[in-house]
Amino acid sequence: MQLEETIEIKGRSIIGLKDGADSGQSVKALNPATGEEIEPPFVQATTEEVDQVAELAQSAFLEYSRLSGKERAKFINQIANQIEALGDTLTQRVMLETGLPEGRVKGETGRTTGQLRLFASLAEEGSWLNARIDTAIPDRQPLPKPDVRAMQRPLGPVVVFAASNFPLAFSTAGGDTASALAAGCSVIVKAHSSHPGTAELVGRAVQKAAEITGMPEGVFSLMFGGGRTVGSALVTHPDVKAVGFTGSTGGGTALMKLAAERPEPIPVYAEMGSVNPVFILPGALAERSEAIANGLHVSATMGVGQFCTNPGVVMLQSDDAGNSFKDAFSGLMESHADEVMLNRSIQKAYSDGVAARDGNSNVEVIVSGNPDTTSGPCHGATSVFEATAENFLEDESLSHEIFGPGTTLVRYSSQGDLLKIAENLEGQLTATIHGTDTDLEENKELIAILERKVGRIVFNGFPTGVEVCPSMVHGGPFPATSDGRSTSVGAFAIDRFTRLVAFQGCPQSLLPDELKDGNPLRIQRMVNGSYTKD
């Protein structure tokens, strides 16, 4: 039985059903907890292999894009099954490569398989196809009305760049891959060099699922490649029609530029940086200062602060109540033990960010996450800074993200300060407000400003922990993402990989099933202006 075969790490790219050739160049993963290399070496792909992969993805797309939602769902559900079948092999490898604790890895595995099953069910449900039918009126005056029918069709092969901070949920078979496959696109994943073994295990699970469910070769490939050569070659390949990315602002904007300068520009969905501002209003602080401090501490240190939704900037009033909050929160942060960050470059960027803020006269250091005192090669210590609202507004560097467990408290004296800070914000994934009903009623203008700046507003909660559900928006205006109209988490994510196509006067037999008379697939459609499943 195929399901019984063990999946092994070969250290090779996955090119459709084949393994990548030996390019002579290979790289090993590093264990961030110890700094030691992990076996085996991973052979880096060549630009010739990029061409092979892209051509396979294109020929697979021609077939895969015409499969029914039900058939695509079988494949995607099978991916979830195969990931579950990896069991402890996967858990151990993720822990080794990322330093993440077992509970988190298992939780993220569940989220990843749950996400895959959500998109499988969407592929079948079909309302997101926006199928619309306007029937002909041949005797309309002055001109006959034609029969016009339209629906979303998949864009073409999609390149997905895996994220370092979610080795499963935003990587090889994460949200971008799941939503692109559900939409009917073939997918090429560029593995993250931080967790190649994790990438290959999941990649081989996808490959196995594709074989079991009889998908065309090339519906999925996985490439290893350091630097930017392989990634750039993928994004500029003429057969590639869209890009998904989760990572740094530098990486995301570089991809946007590459994609915009192609002879045929293509959409890039890059989810980049965000400081996820938190506004603590006076009534809420008076009512539950301790609870907010506890919650903020948990949120700010979750995943060693390496979440896109990490609350990096907190607006706190400048009076005694604010001081008490500061003391309580700083105490929790200070006593928080060092933890292993994902890799050296993230740890270095965090240390550099903390050091720069340490040396910035516009901020006061409350808790200094001094990297020299940490207990391992990739360890990160929490940090807390404080700035006046005035300095925060004047010093743009203070609103830049420090990716890791660092928080800057901004001390405000008036509602006016809050409105200025909010209006001055760049695009963000989230904003959070802690307020009593009275606070919120008195700060409607603040909420209105935030609504223009972010993808999700959280009331009396914390931004980390992104629920995967139909209404979730994990997006936000640039520079939080490259395309603020979209989300990379939740059911709406499928829309990113589609485009509208209309059929005018098309014979029934040639229409896609989704647009045929009698609605054989029983999907929700708009027929002559009314929604119906008939």
How far is the C-alpha of 414 from the C-alpha of 424, rounded, in Å? Answer: 16
Q: Out of 48, 102, 327, 451, point to the residue binding a second copy (CB under 8 A).
A: 451
* Residue window 197-236: x/- pattern of binding to a second copy, with contact defined by CB under 8 A: ----------------------------------------
* Contact flag: residue 467 with a second copy (CB under 8 A): yes
**Residue type for position 22:** D
* Contact flag: residue 475 with a second copy (CB under 8 A): yes
Closest CB to a second copy among residues 3, 448: 448
Closest CB to a second copy among residues 195, 496: 496
Of 202-210, 216-224, 314-322, 457-465, the segment contacting a second copy by CB under 8 A is 457-465
Closest CB to a second copy among residues 17, 448: 448
Chain residues 480-499 in contact with a second copy, contact rule CB under 8 A: 482-487, 492, 498-499
Report CA torsion sign: 105, 109, 110, 112: positive
Question: Closest distance between a second copy and the C-beta of residue 438, in Å?
Answer: 11
How far is the C-alpha of 391 from the C-alpha of 396, rounded, in Å? Answer: 9
Q: Tell me 219's DSSP state.
A: S
* Contact flag: residue 504 with a second copy (CB under 8 A): yes
What is the bridge-based pairing of β-strands 268-271 and 242-246? parallel
Chain residues 24-53 in contact with a second copy, contact rule CB under 8 A: none
Question: Closest distance between a second copy and the C-beta of residue 299, in Å?
Answer: 13
Closest CB to a second copy among residues 292, 354: 292
Closest-CA residue to 527 (of 131, 188, 171): 131
Question: Closest distance between a second copy and the C-beta of residue 236, in Å?
Answer: 14
Query: Catalytic pick from 200, 271, 401, 514?
Result: 271
Query: Catalytic pick from 308, 339, 386, 401?
Result: 308
* Residue window 239-268: x/- pattern of binding to a second copy, with contact defined by CB under 8 A: -----------------xx--x---xx-x-
How far is the C-alpha of 457 from the C-alpha of 376, rounded, in Å? Answer: 37
Is 442 among the residues known to form the active site?
no
CA distances from 343 to 195, 370, 406 (A): 9, 17, 17
* Contact flag: residue 507 with a second copy (CB under 8 A): yes
Which long-range contacts (C-beta less than 8 Å, at least 24 apart) are formed by 31-35? 31/96, 31/97, 31/99, 32/97, 32/98, 32/99, 32/340, 32/341, 32/342, 32/343, 32/344, 32/347, 32/377, 32/378, 33/99, 33/340, 33/376, 33/378, 34/376, 34/377, 35/376, 35/377, 35/378
Q: Out of 203, 282, 371, 477, point to the residue binding a second copy (CB under 8 A).
A: 477
Strand residue runs (E) in 86-157:
132-134, 148-154
Of 230-238, 337-345, 390-398, 451-459, the segment contacting a second copy by CB under 8 A is 451-459
* Contact flag: residue 510 with a second copy (CB under 8 A): yes
Measured torsion, CA atoms of residues 93, 99, 104, 110, in degrees rounded to the nearest 10: -30
Chain residues 57-76 in contact with a second copy, contact rule CB under 8 A: 62, 66
Question: Closest distance between a second copy and the C-beta of residue 408, in Å?
Answer: 23
Q: Out of 148, 321, 349, 419, point to the residue binding a second copy (CB under 8 A).
A: 148
Chain residues 151-190 in contact with a second copy, contact rule CB under 8 A: 153, 155-156
Closest CB to a second copy among residues 263, 359: 263
How far, rounded to the nearest angstrom, does the alpha carbon of residue 286 sit from its chain's CA centroid? Answer: 36
Question: Closest distance between a second copy and the C-beta of residue 463, in Å?
Answer: 9
Report CA torsion sign: 209, 214, 217, 218: negative
Is 308 among the residues known to form the active site?
yes
How far is the C-alpha of 106 from the C-alpha of 321, rounded, in Å? Answer: 40
* Contact flag: residue 130 with a second copy (CB under 8 A): yes
Strand residue runs (E) in 374-504:
379-380, 383-388, 406-412, 428-434, 454-459, 498-504
Binding residues for a second copy, rule CB under 8 A, total 76
* Residue window 86-115: x/- pattern of binding to a second copy, with contact defined by CB under 8 A: ---------------------x--------
Question: Closest distance between a second copy and the C-beta of residue 504, in Å?
Answer: 5
Q: Tell me 150's DSSP state.
A: E
Question: Closest distance between a second copy and the C-beta of residue 356, in Å?
Answer: 22
By the 8 A CB rule, do 278 and 244 touch? no
* Contact flag: residue 503 with a second copy (CB under 8 A): yes
Question: Closest distance between a second copy and the C-beta of residue 421, in Å?
Answer: 17
Give the residue carrying structure tokens 């994004």: 235
* Contact flag: residue 348 with a second copy (CB under 8 A): no
How far is the C-alpha of 208 from the C-alpha of 14, rounded, in Å? Answer: 11
* Token code pair at residue 154: 């998949």
Active site residues: 271, 308
